[in-house]
Amino acid sequence: MTFTNRVFSGIQPSGDLHLGNYLGAIRRFVPLQDTHDCIYCVVDMHAITVWQDPDDLRRATREVAAAYVAAGIDPKKAVIFNQSQVMQHAELAWVFNCVARIGWMNRMTQFKDKAGKNSENVSLGLLAYPSLMAADILLYKATHVPVGDDQKQHLELTRDIAAKFNNDYAASIAAQGVGQDDGSFFPITEPLIAGPATRIMSLRDGTKKMSKSDPSDQSRISLLDNADGIAKKIKKATTDPEPLPETVEGLAGRPEADNLIGIYAALSDQTKAQVIAEFGGKGWGIFKPALADLAVAQLGPMGDEMRRLIEDTTTIDAILRDGAERARVIAEATMVDVRSIVGFIR
């Protein structure tokens, strides 16, 4: 018996999805539905690790679901749902809270970044949420997770939790007869490393990641920006005075140039070398309009479809409910075994 070849990934509904979310994650989810059993979640339980206005959370949850569908994920082929509709996520997270070690959580660099000097006053959920993230993945026994650089540490923690659970409960797993050929119950999930332009930087500062928290709206392209807004932001993007380099090596020390060429490469399914072969030596007055036209062509129709779906809450909510029902079947099958493995009487 072997694990199903399954992909799990989730996006937090924190509002204002941008180009970095699309190129770094959502766009890469689409082709996987043709090669893997795919489960794509809107992780609304993660969102409340910091306080959320309930109406904003509902709107942002629908926005992420709309982005999935507008990008090309088929809700009949893949499973699209919001996490809070499948309460087995919380149940398995508690089991994993009792498997994971506090030292593991304290080492999470993302917690340190978000908590800052106020770590004594943030929610317990912010510290423990990597355990919930592990539950998200392992509840479906996902064999693969698409990850960017900022999530690699969390996937390593998921692998550590799976290995410790398999080891701690090895005898019970064997006694229940629910292990794989190697005796494991949970897979040691592998990363699916994305290709170029997985890390999209600010249009105002090429050394900083594109983020919705940046006070300047000009720093990011929102997936809900219209064509005129997209073009204006690209044309106003920070650059240096030099023309585009003739080689990829010439991008060293030029973060804004590297970022814009990387965006063009990702949107056009090319390498940076191919983009430089076309535009190397040319000025920004030629490259920026070409990038703006490409971005509008790629993102404009998706933004239109997102806006339509967000307004059609009946359709979006039906997609989320259907996905949750399908996810719940898999999740409950896992939890029936987990309850027996750990010794819960049912």
Q: Which of 27-31, 217-221, 336-340 has the highest mean pLDDT?
A: 336-340
Catalytic residue among 141, 152, 164, 212: 212
Catalytic residue among 76, 77, 114, 236: 114
pLDDT at residue 26, rounded to an integer: 92
pLDDT at residue 289, rounded to an integer: 96
Is position 112 annotated as part of the catalytic site?
Answer: no
Residue 113 has pLDDT above 50, yes or no: yes
pLDDT at residue 321, rounded to an integer: 98
The 10s digit of each residue's pLDDT in 182-200 is: 999 999 999 987 655 467 9
Determine the Cα–Cα distance for residues 176 and 170; give it in Å rounded to an integer: 10
Using CA atoms, how far residue 76 sits from 69, 84, 272, 322, 340, in Å, is: 10, 20, 35, 9, 32
Rg (CA), the chain: 21
Average pLDDT over residues 90-118: 82
Residue 202 has pLDDT above 50, yes or no: yes
Determine the Cα–Cα distance for residues 300 and 336; give it in Å rounded to an integer: 45
pLDDT at residue 194, rounded to an integer: 60
DSSP 144: E
Residue 125 has pLDDT above 90, yes or no: no
Residue 280 has pLDDT above 70, yes or no: yes
**Upper half-sphere CA count for residue 217 (Cβ side, 13 Å):** 8
At residue 275, φ and ψ (nearest 5 deg) are -65, -45
Residue 296 has pLDDT above 90, yes or no: yes
- Structural tokens at position 292: 């703006």
Using CA atoms, how far residue 32 sits from 145, 232, 242, 300, 336, in Å, is: 11, 33, 39, 23, 28
Structure-model confidence comparison of residues 291 and 23, the more confident one: 291
Lowest-confidence range among 122-126, 139-143, 218-222? 122-126
Residue 162 has pLDDT above 50, yes or no: yes
Catalytic residue among 117, 141, 208, 209: 209
Helices marked H in 7-73:
19-21, 27-32, 44-47, 54-71
Residue 150 has pLDDT above 90, yes or no: no
Q: Which residue has the tokens 């919705």?
A: 212
The 10s digit of each residue's pLDDT in 135-144 is: 999 999 999 9
Interior angle at CA 306, CA 303 and CA 309, nearest 5: 155
Task: Please state, rounded to an integer, the average pLDDT across all residues of the chain.
Answer: 92
> CA 341 from chain center: how many Å?
31
Using CA atoms, how far residue 289 sits from 19, 183, 251, 296, in Å, is: 17, 57, 20, 10
- Structural tokens at position 124: 């317990």
Residue 119 has pLDDT above 70, yes or no: no
pLDDT bracket for residue 117 (50, 70, 90): low
pLDDT at residue 105, rounded to an integer: 86
pLDDT at residue 121, rounded to an integer: 73
pLDDT at residue 273, rounded to an integer: 94
Lowest-confidence range among 42-56, 103-117, 302-316? 103-117
Residue 346 has pLDDT above 90, yes or no: no
Is position 209 annotated as part of the catalytic site?
Answer: yes
Determine the Cα–Cα distance for residues 123 and 114; give it in Å rounded to an integer: 11
Determine the Cα–Cα distance for residues 219 and 213; give it in Å rounded to an integer: 10
Contacts of 346 (CB under 8 A, 6+ apart): 336, 339, 340
Structure-model confidence comparison of residues 215 and 233, the more confident one: 233
Lowest-confidence range among 15-29, 43-57, 115-129, 227-241? 115-129
pLDDT at residue 215, rounded to an integer: 87
- Structural tokens at position 314: 């009946």
Is position 164 annotated as part of the catalytic site?
Answer: no
